[in-house]
Amino acid sequence: MDVTFGYKDEGKCFFGKILRPIAIVSFQNESTKKWLEIAMVVDTGADFSILPKYFSEDLGISLEKDCIKDSTVGVGGEQTIYLLKNRTPVKVGSISRDVPLAFFAGDEVPPLLGRLGFLETFDVEFLKSHTIVFKP
């Protein structure tokens, strides 16, 4: 069954109204088994999915014990990231996946939903009606 999300209005800039493709993704806390919903930017330019550091605490993940320290380069330059050693369970609507995940060293960058192990497992459509459709 397809899962659909709308774009979020992020205000205006010199070029016009900014509409950002946002999907609600549920991540499972390993210790409590509770699900945490996170609004993520659907970013086809992101190699993999990355969350701000503060979500590691919400998900019961230790950056020092559960992750491998690495770095990534993007529009903002090089940043330290922490790669989760094991895939983590997530849900998009009623669709479940175990996906690779990383955390930024800080909290400045928004949650990014990337290609590797996540977007590439769906047919994703970006419609001119400002809707995103995930097709399993």
CA–CA gap between residue 13 and residue 35 (Å, rounded):
35
Residue 121 DSSP symbol: G
* pTM (predicted TM-score): 0.93
| Domains of the chain by residue range | 3-135
d(CA 50, CA 130): 23
Number of helices and strands in the chain (H, E): 2, 12
> Is CATH 2.40.70.10 correct for 3-135?
yes
Parts of the chain with a pLDDT under 70: none
Closest CA to 100 of 112, 39, 135: 112
pLDDT recorded at residue 67: 98
- pLDDT tens digits, 70-87: 998 877 788 999 999 999
